[in-house]
Structure 1
Amino acid sequence: MPIPTNYETPVRTSAKDRALSQLQKWIIDGTLQPDEKLNDAELAAALGVSRTPVREALQLLEVQGLVQMYPGKDTRVTTIDKEMIGKLYATLGALHALAAETAAQLIEPGQIEQLRELNAAFARAIKAKDIYQALEYDEEFHNLIVELSDNPYTVSFCSSLQMHIRRFKFVFLKQPLGQTMAAAEEHEQIIDALEKRDAQAASRLIKQNLSRPLEEYNKLP
């Protein structure tokens, strides 16, 4: 029989994926605190799923470094290791700087406009104090530049590193508006450099933008 092609395939999300997504968000936004003990039965009840998908989600979260499972004992949210965060930022900054150099030679006008739209949405989220959404837009902005570099290895490595510092970025974005709006201004400078195809400036600015949260955090009392 002929199979129609002009239809949208329904998006189906498994219970495990739903649990994983929600638990990630709760860990990142601080609903689940560092070193907090996690009870799979309580989480299952809160999420409206059985314990099995919650356990599967927790196993994936352990692989991502967001929880630590102690067999026969308990499962806890991992703490934020400041020294390790510094190393992760250094690596991520170098990869993004490399991506920006390449993207500056490949970027098209429509993609420049896309970056401007993402940055405008980022700034609006900051002003509205919608911290989690601001974090999402910030990552979309940087991820688009990485994708434009047309290097699957850079994309893969950046994605892996990003998960480990999302919680730290969330903490930083809770700082006063003047500090976080500076990130939106730096984004505009990065866009201008890419539009001018200034690879060196784009590389320098994006590395500065990514390292600034850690530098500002180090200044806090």
Structure 2
Amino acid sequence: MPIPATSGSLGRSLLRDDVYTRLRDAIVDGTFAPGENLKDGDLAEWLGVSRTPVREALLRLAESGLIVARPGRSTAVAELEEDAVRDARDVVAAMHALAARTAVPALSEEHLDRMRDANARFRAALAAEDAVAAVAADDDFHDVLVRASGNDALVAVLDRYSPVLRRAEVLRFVSLDRFTSLERHEQLIAVCAARDADAASALVFRTWHSLPVPGGGSGG
């Protein structure tokens, strides 16, 4: 797929994180297809920025496993590989379980309301079969516990390994089992409201570890 003709320029003051987020999301939602070559000049023109933040973003994307950088040759969108998804899934599931165990005892009603709101958006996205919106709402839902944990190291690990799973999630949410996550969300809200940290941790782990691996089925 070629670089889109328009993007809505993000401006010269665009932060590095914004460039990274735009490119990451374009890979996750399929704007840039697996195997597609990415040229920093084309990407810089698309985003309306210089090449420097684009090159820095590409390095981060390579670390996250979303692109394959070949020095002196080309940079391409990575294929969705079974081993990479399985490894990321195992790490992400463990981190979310830890976040739940840490956060649940101290959750406020505001935290629970944010989870309910995100789940309502998640339900609407599933009903509309909008996989990208479903992934975004799902991220917002689980991010409540992650941020409430107050563990910056945990957040950094998730930022490193979650992008690979986001690509797999887009496929998952348009499959026949897409409503399973909705049911688990509702269960998680209930155990969080009851301040049952052990149950929340176990449920979150099963939710993330059930993510199907391309070519290998689910592991949980």
For the aligned pair, the TM-score class normalised by the smaller chain equals: 0.7 to 0.9
1:162 and 2:151 matched: no
Matched with 2:152 is 152
**Counterpart of 2:43 in structure 1: which amino acid?**
L
1:187 and 2:185 matched: yes
Q: Kindly tell me: are residues 101 and 19 of structure 1, through their superposed partners in 2, closer, same or farther at Cα, counting changes over 3 Å?
A: closer
CA offset at residue 40 of structure 1? 3.2
Structure 1 segment 52-67 matched on structure 2, within 5 A: 52-67=52-67
Structure 1 segment 1-221 matched on structure 2, within 5 A: 13-14=13-14, 18-176=18-176, 179-214=177-212, 218-219=216-217
**Counterpart of 2:148 in structure 1: which amino acid?**
L
User: How high is the sequence identity, in percent, across the aligned residues?
Assistant: 33
Separation (CA, whole Å) in 1 of partners of 2:166 and 2:42 = 25
CA offset at residue 174 of structure 1? 2.6
Separation (CA, whole Å) in 2 of partners of 1:48 and 1:99 = 37
CA offset at residue 219 of structure 1? 4.2
Separation (CA, whole Å) in 1 of partners of 2:75 and 2:213 = 32
**Counterpart of 2:200 in structure 1: which amino acid?**
A
SS in 2 for 1:213: coil
CA offset at residue 190 of structure 1? 0.5
Q: Kindly tell me: are residues 218 and 154 of structure 1, through their superposed partners in 2, closer, same or farther at Cα, counting changes over 3 Å?
A: same
CA contact under 8 A between 1:67 and 1:76: conserved in structure 2? yes
Q: Kindly tell me: are residues 100 and 20 of structure 1, through their superposed partners in 2, closer, same or farther at Cα, counting changes over 3 Å?
A: closer
CA RMSD across the alignment = 2.6
**Which protein is richer in helix relative to its size?**
1
CA offset at residue 54 of structure 1? 3.4
Q: Kindly tell me: are residues 52 and 110 of structure 1, through their superposed partners in 2, closer, same or farther at Cα, counting changes over 3 Å?
A: closer
CA contact under 8 A between 1:15 and 1:49: conserved in structure 2? no
| 36-45 vs 121-130, greater mean Cα deviation | 36-45
**Counterpart of 1:189 in structure 2: which amino acid?**
Q
| 196-205 vs 42-51, greater mean Cα deviation | 42-51
SS in 2 for 1:37: coil
SS in 1 for 2:179: helix
Separation (CA, whole Å) in 1 of partners of 2:165 and 2:174 = 15
Structure 1 unmatched runs, 5+: 1-10
Structure ID, larger Rg? 1
CA offset at residue 32 of structure 1? 1.2
1:116-173 CA distances to partner (integer Å, 9 max, x unpaired)? 1111111112212222121111111111112222322222222222123221112222
Separation (CA, whole Å) in 1 of partners of 2:198 and 2:50 = 52
CA contact under 8 A between 2:82 and 2:213: conserved in structure 1? no
